[in-house]
Structure 1
Amino acid sequence: MNAAGSAPAGDADAPERAYTDFTRALSYGEYLQLDALHAAHRPVTPAHDEHLFIAVHHVSEVWLNLIVQELRAAMTLLEAGVTDAPLKMLSRVVRAQEQMTNAWEVLKTMTPADYLQFRDAFGQASGFQSAQYRMMEFLLGNRSAVLLRPHEHRPDLHGPLLAALHAPSVYDLTLRLLAARGLPVPAEVLDRDLTVPHEAHPGVLAAWLAVYRDPERYWDVYELAEKLLDVEDNFRRWRFNHLTTVERTIGFKRGSGGTSGAGYLQRALGTVLFPELWEVRTHL
């Protein structure tokens, strides 16, 4: 360091060489809109653990946003018959799901007594009302018109969800891809009512059996199937961790959003998104 406090002329690694004048340049905080991000963190009580509760849910919403973006991009390509790039996007979905699941571990440091200090303050607000979570579920194929009701007061949220309800899921597009490759996917499956979840069909199972018995011939859709199974596997883990977090925090009290709470989550664990991809293993 010289007398003026600047880095020696030959020291390329000195921190003093970093940019420090942002009067006319975009800074880190401005690029990420950190003022708006921090301003959104607004506890409504003085309870210490409300900060934790809000932070975990904010982070989860950011990951959900990324998951929805990646699913949409992958589905656009699958609809066009492209299978290689969607694998990367679905891999990113899997990694983002892992981060969401890990967030429950942080939230589990909050005890029942901690939670009761602020639970009543947010009234009927609940993760059940997350539009991004609902969009993720709709894109994955778990859908019901009833689940749109919490968003009827927000046309900007309700409209895209309604469109997704009537559009093919990622699994529907995958089955259409199988049919385009000449595999015998039944017409009643391809032309089914998209507003209800797909149910296991022996004809679809037969098509997947053909793929899994000859993976070299159908390598791209075989690999796609395995990646979809990764997505559902992580989806189940997230739901299980959600259930255990709720049980250890409020037991079997009713959920703030009006559901039965742990009982509702326990029932949701039985949801199977891609049934034939699980069933095919039994028949190989």
Structure 2
Amino acid sequence: MNGAADRPNLTFGPKEEPGTGTPYARYVHLATLHSLQQPRSKVHAEYSFIVTTQVMELLFDLLHYDWTAAQQALREDDLTAALAALARGAHTQDVLVSSWDLLATMTPAEFNAFRSVLGEASGFQSSAFLRLEFLIGNKSERLLQMYEESPAEYELLTAALHGPSLYDDALALLARRGVKVPHEPSTSRHRPDPAVEQAWRTVYTDPAHVELVRLGEALLDLAERVTRWRQRHYASVKRTMGAKPGTGGSSGLNWLKQAADQDVFPELWAVRNEL
């Protein structure tokens, strides 16, 4: 089930020469886009799997665009622009979460019918997704090892690992607005910090910082949607393949469950216990 002779007779779109086609086709590179779906089996479910994961990858890029725009606005003390970018990102996240609908009902028999052609390929290896994880502070230098033979991806992820996260820039804005935040960017996963929790408590209880409350709520919108994504991922995998190890060698369901239980921006959740 690995050779070209085994592939289904599917039409992937017109084969156009560069510079031809309608202005729309040229603008969005339509011919190229519709030529990228190349199943390795004759199983219909594999085509759905490829299309859905490619859509997710494009949405990862869009979300990175949204979040880095918010990050840049925070650095420029433009809270209005930052909130607008985070709102756009929330819509992107909603579409990402909903995209699991395309795979959620795939049966174990359907997935197993083409799983062998995936080899060691796994969504866990997505550099675009990992870059998003780093951007929200869920960092791990160990994960860079899988990209050591991919220089371009390794360089981008190394920069994301060592650069400030979106949360770091939000806390830096709080500090510039007069809120005491003894916090420094790190290359490891952000862990709950009582000092950061106290900073957000000050924001939420001091009327002078009402604008920063809007930032806290926008970040919580982001965090909640990350959790929804992880929970939907977990449920979809549990339904499709159960507790079997992941194709890329990960622990599969157990790893996804741990990720789903991990809060993003934990201080924003913890401070609600006292408000």
TM-score normalized by the length of structure 1: 0.87
> Which of residues 123, 144, 152 in structure 2 aligns to 1:156?
152
CA distance in 2, matches of 1:178, 1:74: 15
CA distance in 2, matches of 1:24, 1:133: 34
1:145 aligns with 2:141: yes
Moved more, 27-36 or 135-144: 27-36
Determine the structure 2 residue equivalent to 1:84.
80
Letter in structure 1 aligned against 2:66: E
Letter in structure 1 aligned against 2:139: R
Determine the structure 1 residue equivalent to 2:204.
212
> Which of residues 258, 263, 268 in structure 2 aligns to 1:267?
258
> Residues 120 and 249 of structure 2 are in contact (CA less than 8 Å); yes or no, is this contact kept in structure 1?
yes
TM superposition shift of 1:25? 8.6
Determine the structure 1 residue equivalent to 2:35.
39
> Residues 71 and 90 of structure 1 are in contact (CA less than 8 Å); yes or no, is this contact kept in structure 2?
yes
1:29 aligns with 2:11: no
Determine the structure 2 residue equivalent to 1:102.
98
CA distance in 2, matches of 1:185, 1:176: 8
TM-score normalized by the length of structure 2: 0.90
> Residues 139 and 190 of structure 2 are in contact (CA less than 8 Å); yes or no, is this contact kept in structure 1?
no
The CA RMSD measured in Å over matched residues stands at 1.5
Letter in structure 2 aligned against 1:81: D
1:53 aligns with 2:49: yes
CA distance in 2, matches of 1:24, 1:245: 41
TM superposition shift of 1:48? 0.8
Identity %: 40
Larger Rg computed on CA atoms:
1
TM superposition shift of 1:273? 2.2
Determine the structure 1 residue equivalent to 2:189.
197
Gaps of 5+ in 2: 1-18
CA distance in 2, matches of 1:227, 1:34: 35
Gaps of 5+ in 1: 1-22
The count of residues paired between Structure 1 and Structure 2 equals 257
TM superposition shift of 1:219? 2.4
Letter in structure 1 aligned against 2:200: W
> Which of residues 214, 237, 243 in structure 2 aligns to 1:223?
214
Determine the structure 2 residue equivalent to 1:70.
66
Letter in structure 2 aligned against 1:263: N
CA distance in 1, matches of 2:154, 2:22: 35
Determine the structure 1 residue equivalent to 2:246.
255
